[in-house]
Chains A and B, each alone.
Chain A
Amino acid sequence: MSLKLSLHTKPDVPLEADVICPDKLNGVNETAIAALTVFHGNDQTALGDFFTVKGQCDGEIQLEGDLANVKHLGSEMTIGKMIIEGDVGQHLGACMSGGEIVVEGNAHDWVAPEMTGGKITIKGNAGHLIGSAYRGSPIGMQGGEIIIHGDVKNETGNTMRGGLIAIGGNTGDFTGVNMLAGTIIVLGEMGIRNGASMKRGTIISMHHAPMIPTFSYVCTYNPTYLRMYLSYIRKLGMEVSDEQINGNYKRWIGDAIELNKGEILLYANE
């Protein structure tokens, strides 16, 4: 039987609930879970003040209610699964290294910053800085998968060094900025200044995108590995056509200021 947490009182100010994570709740009984500490602004309070706790965690947690103001869910998660029925607040799955989070609604900024493994699926939209490094940190996401079906905002994959970010909708500016390695697939349109300062890594978009002056066009080709990636995200429910899987892509390389080993692939048969 899985654990069900339903929000019965909406927090007035941001609620930091990093205890809600399968690692910390596995095998713990209802009373003990309700007594765990959460931060309601600066007030240390009990999880039971906001959530109705039902069942016991056997690796899976279900969350219900408007969690748009609940932050740090699934922080440092290593195992298990979390299913969030509605919207969710900032820092979802921060630094997670394993397990799976599914969000049926929208997510806020900082989805899975500095994640090293595991998988996050968001059915709606998300905010800024998906899979990024925290400010001042040299490395962002290093592994795992972030699948977002909707749109996202700026700085997706800032300083990422590994893993996969797939965006079904559009992205804002500076997608893949400072990227060290890894893959970002954008099925919609990207904003401006994508891949600025990138060293290595791949950014793929199905639409034309403006290029900064330090990227140069190399060729138009049909990369084999891309078929595998696109077929994989299609299996996950993203809208990828056969033409896109078999089509040609314009390859741009950059950033010339850095190693010039990053690539941006833009679908050529648009």
Chain B
Amino acid sequence: MSENIKIVKNATCTFCGCVCDDMELTVDLDEKRIIKAKNACVLGRAWFAEHTIGDWPVAMIDGKEVSKEEAIEETAQTLVKAKFPIIYGLSDTTCEAQRQAVAISDIIRGTIDTTTSVCHGPSGLAFQGVGESTMSLGEVKNRADLVIYWGGNPAASHPRHFTRYTVTPKGMFIPNGRKDRTVVLVDIRKTPSAPVADLFIQVKPGKDFEVLWALRALVKGKNIDPSIEEETGVSLATLEDLVDKMKNCRYGVLFFGMGLTMTRGRHFNSGAIMALTTDLNEFTHFVTKPVRGHGNVTGADNVLSWQTGYPFGVNFNRGYPRFNPGEFTTVDTLSRGDADAAMFIASDPASNFPKVAIEHMKKIPVISLDTKQTETSNLAHVAFATSTYGINTGGTVYRMDDVPITMRSAFDSPYPDDEEILTAIKKRVQELVWAKQGIKIAVGEARVA
């Protein structure tokens, strides 16, 4: 360890949707790495510890190192030439960079989509169809006396969720912390989160919708046939007991994960849990929230919603935004072979998309912006290496409860950030589009906000 040590207080961890902002980082400025992350969970510690400055070039075209400017020019030309360009990713970058990406897709009349479409996209559809009774995590900490997790395993995916917001902390109306709360976990198997819960309910795989629907009926005072146990694995008595708990709590919260959104039924599963929440508001105060994964995936939803009116899967082909999941979401545009150019920002679809989508990715020019080398950057025509948000780049991120959090850089990186690259691409594509349309700019460079 060198002498050149810097302590960064109240730093923000952007690994998961909890976006904990109480980190105390010890940075070795000579070695350019974080040697200690106080308050971080196991995932956060790994996030900070594994972050080092790589030695790959800032920009590459077809695997060969080029200058940043050349790569920006090539990117702009590729995007402007394309008839169905898509932009995807955005969940691991700042809101400032996301804004630039939306502007680019508007200028090039492309399609913009975020990783929401492969995680909580169905919840986005359900918000529109059913509505969401929502809250901030601070409210949960101070008020919730019944906390239900459905189809998620926060002990593994969001380790500090329990201790920072939902289970153990003492709050204004929860003076004794854990003792004042009832915690319920509903899942298809006993996960590491189960020991935290007072009540664990095991549902047969793929039967969440039926259980939620039965709960809705019971909340509304309708009869449910005891054969529900045979179908779902949950007895009527258990359901009645849960309904009793839900109706009689002072402030209840339903958190749900991808166990609901990415299993058969998708947006109807999310819709069912939101509708159940709405029903429960006849009796008590009840709220619901998807437990979001990536650090700023909630920000991606917010930025897209405020700029285009829709949260994901937005198409600008006709000059105005149109929303149609299934038609404009990235897995679909790639699998059907619609897209003829793609820009992936801070995500690695080549490692987790369906095979047919990856095959199409290999046929079209791909532009990638990422902090490290990935499957996607390896197959990219133009690959930019950028700095890591929350560690080398400041900006704004949204926590999973839609609360914006400002972050600062812990130490400098030699790489540019996503916003810088995207702003340069935006300016260039705007110039090219104006040139194509015969619009002449009076003086200087393109005046783009």
Interchain CB contact under 8 A, A256 and B217: yes
Cα A14 to Cα B326 with chains together (Å): 14
Q: Bin the interface of chain B by size.
A: 35 or more
Interchain CB contact under 8 A, B265 and A173: yes
The reply on B108 being an interface residue by CB < 8 A is: yes
Interchain CB contact under 8 A, B326 and A109: yes
| B56-72 interface bits toward A, Cβ cutoff 8 Å, 1 = contact, 0 = none | 00000000000000000
- B189-203: which residues lie under 8 A (CB-CB) from chain A? none
- Complex interface: stretch among B254-262, B316-324, B404-412: B316-324
Q: CB-nearest residue of chain B relative to A134? A: B324
Least Cβ distance of B242 to chain A in Å? Answer: 15
Q: CB-nearest residue of chain A relative to B276? A: A257
Residues of B at the A interface (CB closer than 8 Å) are: 82-85, 108-110, 125, 128-129, 209-210, 213-214, 216-217, 220, 222, 224-225, 228, 231, 264-265, 268, 275, 316-318, 323-327, 338-340
Provide the residues of chain A in CB contact with B225, threshold 8 Å: 213
Given contact pairs A213-B214, A213-B228, A214-B217, enumerate 5 new A-B contacts (beta carbons under 8 Å): A90-B327, A109-B327, A135-B324, A193-B210, A257-B213
Least Cβ distance of A63 to chain B in Å? Answer: 20
> Knowing A39-B318, A193-B268, A214-B217 touch, does A14 contact B125 (C-beta < 8 A)?
no
Contact of B265 among A14, A136, A193, A257 (CB under 8 A): A193
- Complex interface: stretch among A26-34, A40-48, A179-187, A224-232: A40-48
Tally of contact residues, A, Cβ under 8 A: 29
Provide the residues of chain B in CB contact with A39, threshold 8 Å: 317-318
Provide the residues of chain B in CB contact with A40, threshold 8 Å: 83
- A37-76: which residues lie under 8 A (CB-CB) from chain B? 39-43, 69
Contact of A212 among B213, B220, B264 (CB under 8 A): B213
- A217-270: which residues lie under 8 A (CB-CB) from chain B? 256-257
Interchain CB contact under 8 A, A13 and B83: yes
Interchain CB contact under 8 A, A41 and B83: yes
Least Cβ distance of B115 to chain A in Å? Answer: 19
Interchain CB contact under 8 A, A213 and B83: no
Least Cβ distance of B437 to chain A in Å? Answer: 11
The reply on A196 being an interface residue by CB < 8 A is: yes
Interchain CB contact under 8 A, B217 and A13: no
Cα A42 to Cα B315 with chains together (Å): 10
Interchain CB contact under 8 A, A13 and B268: no
Q: How many A-B residue pairs have CB under 8 A?
A: 85
Interchain CB contact under 8 A, A256 and B326: no
Contact of B129 among A16, A129, A136, A213 (CB under 8 A): A136
Residues of A at the B interface (CB closer than 8 Å) are: 12-14, 16, 39-43, 69, 90, 109-110, 128-129, 134-136, 173-174, 177, 192-193, 196, 212-214, 256-257
> Knowing A12-B83, A42-B109 touch, does A257 contact B220 (C-beta < 8 A)?
yes
Interchain CB contact under 8 A, A16 and B317: yes
Least Cβ distance of B178 to chain A in Å? Answer: 34
Interchain CB contact under 8 A, A42 and B316: yes
Interchain CB contact under 8 A, A173 and B340: no
Provide the residues of chain A in CB contact with B339, threshold 8 Å: 13
Cα A196 to Cα B126 with chains together (Å): 14
Provide the residues of chain A in CB contact with B231, threshold 8 Å: 213
Interchain CB contact under 8 A, B83 and A43: yes
Cα A90 to Cα B332 with chains together (Å): 13
Interchain CB contact under 8 A, B210 and A13: no
Cα A193 to Cα B323 with chains together (Å): 26
Interchain CB contact under 8 A, B268 and A257: no
Least Cβ distance of A259 to chain B in Å? Answer: 12
Interchain CB contact under 8 A, B268 and A174: yes
The winner among A12, A16, A257 for most chain B CB atoms within 10 A is A257
Contact of A14 among B84, B217, B264 (CB under 8 A): B84
> Knowing A13-B340, A193-B268, A214-B213 touch, does A256 contact B84 (C-beta < 8 A)?
no
Interchain CB contact under 8 A, A135 and B213: no
Cα A141 to Cα B325 with chains together (Å): 19
10 pairs, A vs B, C-beta closer than 8 Å: A14-B84, A14-B338, A42-B83, A42-B108, A135-B125, A174-B265, A174-B268, A212-B210, A257-B213, A257-B217
Cα A112 to Cα B417 with chains together (Å): 46
Cα A174 to Cα B125 with chains together (Å): 15
Least Cβ distance of B340 to chain A in Å? Answer: 6
Interchain CB contact under 8 A, B318 and A13: no
Interchain CB contact under 8 A, B326 and A41: no
